[in-house]
Structure 1
Amino acid sequence: MLQLGLVDDHPVARRGLAAILAEDPEVVVAGAGAHPADLCDPGALDVVLCDLYLGEDRPAVAEVRRLAEVTAVLMVSAGSRPADVLACVAAGASGYVTKDSDEDVLRAAVHAVAGGEFYLSPQLAGIVGTACRSAASRGGASLLTAREEEALGWIARGLTHAQTARRMGVQPSTVDTYVKRIRARLHLGNKAELAWFARSLTEGGGAGGQ
């Protein structure tokens, strides 16, 4: 059973999210509030769903960063400005979905983030493509071996490490190693940057083995 926390300064929004998530038998909302400080023990939660603006005119980036140090953070916001999405990702958020997303997208995001993966709602998938293409233009893809490029290509298609391992005929631990090398060589600090770089290569035909 996944333990979730909800952080949104609008009570109606919190109740709405709680009602949607209550339909999933595999999750339970263990805490909710208008601010991360309202959660008794964020570190005991599997995922915290957090709004971008918490009663202030600025994005709650500092709060996201503190939460991300102890648990997985999924941003759930009405805003979709590229700068806001990038700021949250840089702060350590493991996913970002907009409030106009379908309910199944929200539930899929929760499970993906809880499983250690990165999730971006479909309408946001191309928001930072230019950042990834910039990395590719600096010769990033050429730094990878053929097998690393193949692994990156499958990850770009949304496969988990286990699924990628089956496609490549290797152990999941080998894919873990590939991902670590990719992130180190391309200077990708987190799963979000890796996912976006992978998507940029897929769109441009740069990743092998697809």
Structure 2
Amino acid sequence: MAGPCGSGKSSVIKTAVQADLALFGDDLRAEFRGSVLDRSGCEVDDYNLALERQSCFQSSHVKRLSRESTLPSALLLHLDLYQILRGIDASYWPKGLKRKAQRLGDASDPLPKRSFEDLLKPRQNDRMMQAFFAKKLFQRFNRIAVATVHCGFERNAAQLTARKGGSSGQWLKYFSAPDPVARAIHAEIYRCWASALVRMAPVVDVSIKVDSDAGFSLNGSFIAYGC
């Protein structure tokens, strides 16, 4: 399940798990149901807890999942595309970009998140996405099914503004950039992801549209939250 932060991924997952929706189609219904044993559908950030509950896993869990000797037959990943492109941590960066960033900064300091300017560089973004999907976890499964959550810029920005208002304000979100820059980053996130999907060639590619508080459209069919 992929989309920018604040696009509605968590709400879609929760609804799909609780209502037993065939999120990836009837052919993969059993695999989707078996990928999340925690029937609350709630997001779990802590890796060990997510593994214990067999909840959906986060982008930042991919490296640790890759190291597990045994894995469930199916996993559900909650991929925040914005965080992937910004650089979850130094180990997720492609080597060339990592060396360049370290030359520009202090090599003794932790690698900083990529800047708004960086997020407008398609070639760098493609390299960041390629490095993420080069992790061994993705080579351990025979099939990958993808659901992309599409959310318009205005709604996405409103969601993030509301989230930031209820937090400590530590997270730097792309809507904090000037409006033209924020819109360009939002569009670039989806462009980069579409390019990654071509290379990934998923067995299922589902489109989800979230532009309402009432629910979402799954391949054109509307589904209400809490159904």
Q: TM-score range by the shorter chain?
A: under 0.3
Alignment TM-score, normalising by the size of structure 2? 0.25
Alignment TM-score, normalising by the size of structure 1? 0.27
Higher relative contact order (CA 8 A, sep 6+): 2
